[in-house]
Structure 1
């Protein structure tokens, strides 16, 4: 099992049983300045022990513990002496494996509820007699394992919160990580700080320092090349690498003709003029547009753009080698490493709960593809971060707000925001429309408050009026 955080950090491991909220749990823990990491549900207890986590969280999940093929954990986990918090399905597993009774109700309880809190709970300390909670479960605990006691109930369950304080085992039949449980953060604080005794040592300052050390150790005196898109992920990756290894980094910026307005101008100004990163600009817009002519299927567009990018990128790398040789570089001093702005959710989403490749909804432009075809060793310095953490790191590294808070932009660019054929005329229309959308969002102070806002060009025409006439 690969882990990213140095052993000096407090660490909470989250066993993933397929909940839609698993990543939310991880983010909530990190917001408490404690490092969290998601691992497979079937990770052996011996491997978990080697990582020396301060605590474990068992996520929820859509299964019943009695379903054929339902995910189960190594029960030895409960004997490690590490505090464990089971959430919904995680609670059911805990009760099931430790000798309690779990029944399938035949219906799912989904929605708001009230938790009535008993006395003397370590997990629910300081919350008062009752709180609002959010339920999403189908199984129900009807008898507790030996050593457990109930500390909270709802209208539908006498065992909505349970604990065995001697073994430091805790369970909740609701979701403390979601916004619909308003005081859920306090519950997680009690678990992380008071029960697990974690220290608040996960900050972007410490991450940058440790990431730079890891980069220098991995790269040594070798050269690194990065495909810089101008988006948040690749921009922060570039700034972090430049902080760590300086001129050993070269960024290649490919203009595929599908970029946002002023993209190339912004990238060259920020990284070339302000950060003084070695930057190679390649205008390949005509090549991409020629290949996209007549193509209307979005997945086909993605594959064409991805394949052509590899060719353009590889040619640009060869040109860099030629330039280096002309400038007196050693014959074999090539670019050994490829850097990518892969994020933690990219890695998690690449594998499903059964451990098989997840069904392709859309092809991902960061995980897989380029390294295998180009024989690079991969450097992924931000692969342990969520997007909000990447933005924080970018600000600490000195990147301007216009880069750090840019909204996400697809790898294939405007090609997948044009329904139908991609032409220079349609690209021009969409760029102008998108510029207007961004301008209006910024002037109304909404651009930085929503995740995405953009224009899409549809293959339809509508009637307009100008000067009392149809246009």
Structure 2
């Protein structure tokens, strides 16, 4: 089967059986420069065919293939002439659908295991004689389907990998998508390139071209759009893409909601306009946002208030955007947002995913939204967005900027959001950013949220007297795409400097603590 043009690539569909790592599989496929999407396991055969997939990858999942409520597989997908790769549960479902045998032998493999390739086939050719892999299974394949070559085993899985190049099908019992399987990406890439015969056409240039074409088709030849510019890389790249598509029919609106970090407004107004030349309208809405947030402490409610008031601010800016065109009945129909795939997933928009938290630009949008949304980055991960930004010529000051949430400091204050608390947090945040930059650590961390525990006080000693101040939390994290993250091991001397400066320079703060929680179980932001 041949691929279509790179402007509209045929996707590798990751069929999600409730896997913890389904989105990560899609990301790994894209790292091989092949476009990939996640689709629910209960999608019909007709839905799958309608997407014209270049290949299918069956994800892992928590169920036993023999459980009564185990996710089913439409066996017709194995007869579409489309290459298929099975992982863990998907590997076992593939086995039973094609006539092989899976059994629960009473043995279990969870965590690191030792894989022994037997020298056969394509997937593990030339790789080490033994290698660590990440396992998570009770059942195990005992007999491969007819025509398939067994290529590897582990102590708990006699058939840990098999393949049939003629049918363009293969699978592994372990999880090649996680970093704990160090050769996993190479194995996955060999399936895509050598067994499925796909070409690496998903490049930044092709992504940009495709997205520009999609925006042009959505907005049309006369549509007007505004873009909610936050100052972060996502909205900046989204705006640059849309400007390439529709030119001066786009106006960027920057809402100063009073929840920004020190210097944020000035940085946006200089950096973005200088980089793109786009028209920028700034809305002063601090009093409005803080008025609606007054007395509110629930994080989900705060996110929804901020999302709602963003939209109201954009609606209020329309008259300024239209100018003289307003009298002729001209309307702004489209709102551009820098929504990313992780935003969609965490807001409950992924396949079978729970609503972890409502991102202001997804689950936090009001129901009476008057605009049609334009979200060109909705299916991209952060590293892909950065690559597209560089392809569009945006400066490194914008492209490499560490993520900052749209709701701003409003979700970094645990408790009610007030002007005094925002001023306090702004000072602490600026100190942390200054010291991380001075230590040359900006490129080593994904971001470092600074959190004010506004409803918590602790006893301290400052100036030989008793104090009763707030704690500040430092949350430095490392991540590839915000789907998972680990806390960053900052040098002790840097932490000491940050702590000393904050407790000396920020009133009402007498304690600085370090958050050493990974994601999962914690999220990157506290709210």
- Whether these two folds match at TM > 0.5 is yes
**Aligned residue for 1:425?**
420
Whole-angstrom distance in 1 between the partners of 2:7 and 2:409: 43
**Aligned residue for 1:148?**
148
1:383 aligns with 2:384: no
Give the CA deviation at 1:25. 1.3
Match of 1:343 among 340, 345, 351: 340
Give the CA deviation at 1:69. 2.4
Is the CA contact (8 Å cut-off) linking 1:11 and 1:198 kept in structure 2?
no
1:231 aligns with 2:200: no
**Aligned residue for 2:491?**
none
Give the CA deviation at 1:108. 4.6
Whole-angstrom distance in 1 between the partners of 2:363 and 2:466: 50
Match of 1:332 among 329, 332, 353: 329
User: What is the 5 A alignment of 1:32-431?
Assistant: 32-105=32-105, 108-219=108-219, 220-321=221-322, 323-325=323-325, 331-351=328-348, 355=352, 358-367=353-362, 370=365, 372-431=367-426
Whole-angstrom distance in 1 between the partners of 2:292 and 2:364: 19
**Residue ranges of structure 1 left out of the alignment (5+ in a row):** none
Is the CA contact (8 Å cut-off) linking 1:19 and 1:61 kept in structure 2?
yes
Relative to 1, partners in 2 of residues 1:257 and 1:287: Cα closer, same or farther, differing over 3 Å? same
Whole-angstrom distance in 2 between the partners of 1:116 and 1:80: 32
Is the CA contact (8 Å cut-off) linking 2:303 and 2:359 kept in structure 1?
no
1:27 aligns with 2:27: yes
| Mean CA deviation greater in 297-306 or 104-113 | 104-113
Relative to 1, partners in 2 of residues 1:78 and 1:116: Cα closer, same or farther, differing over 3 Å? same
Instruction: Tell me the secondary structure at the aligned position of residue 187 of structure 2.
Output: helix
Of structures 1 and 2, the one scoring higher in RCO (CA 8 A, sep 6+) is: 1
CA deviation vs aligned residue, 1:296-354 (integer Å, no higher than 9, x gap): 22223223222333322211223433x233xxx67132112111212223344455787
Whole-angstrom distance in 2 between the partners of 1:137 and 1:47: 29
Whole-angstrom distance in 1 between the partners of 2:103 and 2:367: 48
Relative to 1, partners in 2 of residues 1:360 and 1:47: Cα closer, same or farther, differing over 3 Å? closer
| Mean CA deviation greater in 104-113 or 83-92 | 104-113
Instruction: Tell me the secondary structure at the aligned position of residue 67 of structure 1.
Output: coil
Whole-angstrom distance in 2 between the partners of 1:5 and 1:309: 38
Relative to 1, partners in 2 of residues 1:402 and 1:462: Cα closer, same or farther, differing over 3 Å? farther
Instruction: Tell me the secondary structure at the aligned position of residue 366 of structure 1.
Output: coil
Give the CA deviation at 1:368. 5.0
CA deviation vs aligned residue, 1:18-62 (integer Å, no higher than 9, x gap): 211111111111111111121221333344344443322111111
Is the CA contact (8 Å cut-off) linking 1:28 and 1:177 kept in structure 2?
yes
Whole-angstrom distance in 2 between the partners of 1:383 and 1:278: 23
**Aligned residue for 2:506?**
none
Is the CA contact (8 Å cut-off) linking 1:7 and 1:51 kept in structure 2?
no
Alignment length, in residue pairs?
461
Instruction: Tell me the secondary structure at the aligned position of residue 53 of structure 2.
Output: coil
CA deviation vs aligned residue, 1:341-371 (integer Å, no higher than 9, x gap): 122233444557875xx54332222225647
Instruction: Tell me the secondary structure at the aligned position of residue 136 of structure 1.
Output: strand
Is the CA contact (8 Å cut-off) linking 1:114 and 1:133 kept in structure 2?
yes
CA deviation vs aligned residue, 1:118-140 (integer Å, no higher than 9, x gap): 13312222214222211112221
| Mean CA deviation greater in 363-372 or 185-194 | 363-372
Whole-angstrom distance in 2 between the partners of 1:260 and 1:104: 55
Give the CA deviation at 1:12. 1.9
Whole-angstrom distance in 1 between the partners of 2:146 and 2:283: 67
**Residue ranges of structure 2 left out of the alignment (5+ in a row):** 468-527
Instruction: Tell me the secondary structure at the aligned position of residue 438 of structure 1.
Output: helix
CA deviation vs aligned residue, 1:265-303 (integer Å, no higher than 9, x gap): 111112334422111111111122222223222223223
Whole-angstrom distance in 2 between the partners of 1:395 and 1:347: 24
Whole-angstrom distance in 2 between the partners of 1:199 and 1:403: 31
Is the CA contact (8 Å cut-off) linking 1:43 and 1:73 kept in structure 2?
no
Instruction: Tell me the secondary structure at the aligned position of residue 145 of structure 1.
Output: coil
Instruction: Tell me the secondary structure at the aligned position of residue 160 of structure 1.
Output: strand
CA deviation vs aligned residue, 1:200-259 (integer Å, no higher than 9, x gap): 211111111222122222222211111111122111111111122221101111111111
Whole-angstrom distance in 1 between the partners of 2:416 and 2:37: 43
Is the CA contact (8 Å cut-off) linking 1:438 and 1:454 kept in structure 2?
no
Relative to 1, partners in 2 of residues 1:108 and 1:119: Cα closer, same or farther, differing over 3 Å? closer
